[in-house]
Amino acid sequence: MNKPFSRQKEVSRIHYSQATPGRRAIFLVEARTRKEVRQITRLFDTVGQLAEVVPISHGTLMSYAVQVHSGATLFGKIEWLLKTQFAFSLVERSFSEVTFRLVQSLCEESETEMAELPQCGICEAVDPFPARATVQFKGQEEPAHLSYCARCASLYAEEQEDEWIRGLVSRDRARLRVSHDVVVTLLPDMVEERPEQEIDLPIAI
């Protein structure tokens, strides 16, 4: 049997969920004791009820990426809490490759373990809140979970949404074979707007 594409897995179906646009920030706090580790964990658990929270590192340096979909007053509240309750904290009101590298080098110096964050399948940029594609293959292959940064996902945007998503997955470094009849399903946006006043952050932590 002639198998010219035997090295490339053949995609049968793509489930795609777009990145949800929002304001992003990175918070980094030094935890000097186990008690402070617990306090910071609890604080960001609470923040997770109001916004999207992705832990970046856990240990001597605790860091989190946070994304909100409405006003950014939550960022100010978290910043104030960290500045008043802990000896050292940093806040960056964006998420860029530069900020990520800074967090990474601080974590290396303090021997803090970092979480594995989603990486763009095209440009390899780290993005805590990426567009995601779950790709199913013909045959017995396990599905693959792929991520795309906002820049790449919008760079290849075309009017035909299905065509654009097929194009995106076909440009992935995983070198997948995506034919034009691959079924694309757009997953609904799962993020709900959660008004800030519903939950109070623990002020006396």
State in angstroms the smallest separation of the CB of 130 from Zn ion.
8
Per CB under 5 A, contacts with Zn ion among 66-105 are: none
Question: Does 123 participate in binding Zn ion (rule CB under 5 A)?
Answer: yes
Query: Is 149 near Zn ion (CB under 5 A)?
Result: yes
Q: How far is the CB of 62 from Zn ion (least distance, A)?
A: 27
Stretch in the footprint of Zn ion (CB under 5 A) among 22-30, 124-132, 183-191, 196-204: 124-132
The distance of closest approach from Cβ of residue 167 to Zn ion in the complex, given in angstroms and rounded to an integer, is 14
Among the listed residues 66, 120, 135, 184, the single contact to Zn ion using CB under 5 A: 120
Contact region for Zn ion (CB under 5 A) — 75-83, 129-137, 151-159, 172-180? 151-159
Q: Establish if 174 lies at the interface with Zn ion (CB under 5 A).
A: no
**Binding segment (CB under 5 A) for Zn ion, from list 58-66, 69-77, 78-86, 146-154:** 146-154
- Please identify which residue in 152, 168, 169, 178 interacts with Zn ion, judged by CB under 5 A: 152
Cα 98 → chain centroid: 16
Q: Which is nearer to Zn ion, 68 or 120 (CB)?
A: 120
16: which residues sit within 8 A by CB, 6+ positions away? 131, 132, 133, 165, 184, 185, 186, 187
Binding site for Zn ion (CB under 5 A): 120, 122-123, 125, 149, 152
